[in-house]
Amino acid sequence: MMTMVGNEMGGMGTNVGGKSKDIDSTFTMASVYAIKKDSIAKLLKEEQEKIKKLEKFTCHMVMNEKAGTFLFDMYTDFKNITEFQEMVSPVKALSDVSPVGKNPTQGNEPKNDGVTRYSFDGKKFSKSVTVKSKDEIKEDYKKGLEKEGVGNGEAEVLSNQMTQSMEMIYQESNYIMEVSFPKKIKKISAPNAKISDDKKSVTISYPMKEYMESKNLNFEVELE
């Protein structure tokens, strides 16, 4: 299970007649795929395959404007090791794919083209993540704006604003990953890991700011 938690993110609820509309919804990615199938069909085959691999995930989203919180869970079970090893990063797959197909005007949106790899041989589980630094994301965003005809000075200002917005959002957000195994956990490399009482599950939480700065993202779990 993977969870993203945001705090102090006011104004998230849908505002109707001046009143906030909080959300507590559970849905499957398969249902989203069915609703958006026509739009998804317009994507590149590689991107379609990314979304297809998310069909087995169930999502739970909670938005509470009064409390200023946002919670987004994605969870699934894997039938075998091969199915797990073929998994793509759900968060990256969702951020990489536009639900309405390729739009030239969206070419300058900031994007972190990171790579997440999982491996499990029955005894050792590992996760490795490679992401762009915030300076690289800022520079890519600036170049995208300039390609759209934005002047150098204005592009610099907008890219700085984008970076500040990302930092503010990430500063108030956490990423939580929970993994359950068929055997007991012997040891884990992540210093902030919490192992369950039966020693078959581990929960790792870290600030999203660390993801943005490529810190403490990789870990290994060794089973008995």
> Encoding tokens for residue 49?
């395959």
Please give the pLDDT value at position 221.
95
pLDDT at 188: 95
**Quick one: pLDDT at residue 89?**
59
Query: Per-domain residue ranges for the chain?
Result: 1-98, 103-133+166-224
Residue 194's pLDDT is 94
> What pTM was computed for the model?
0.60
Per-residue pLDDT 10s for the chain (224 aa) are 555 555 544 444 445 455 557 888 898 888 888 888 888 888 888 778 877 878 888 888 888 877 777 788 888 887 766 666 666 555 555 555 444 334 433 444 555 556 778 888 889 999 887 777 777 777 877 888 888 888 888 888 888 887 777 777 677 777 788 889 989 999 999 888 999 999 999 998 877 777 666 666 789 999 99
Rounded CA-CA distance 118/89 in Å is 9
Instruction: Please name which of 209, 207, 183, 211 lies closest in space to residue 195, comparing C-alpha atoms.
Output: 183
Helices (H), the chain: 29-35, 37-40, 45-52, 81-85, 90-96, 134-147, 152-171, 208-212
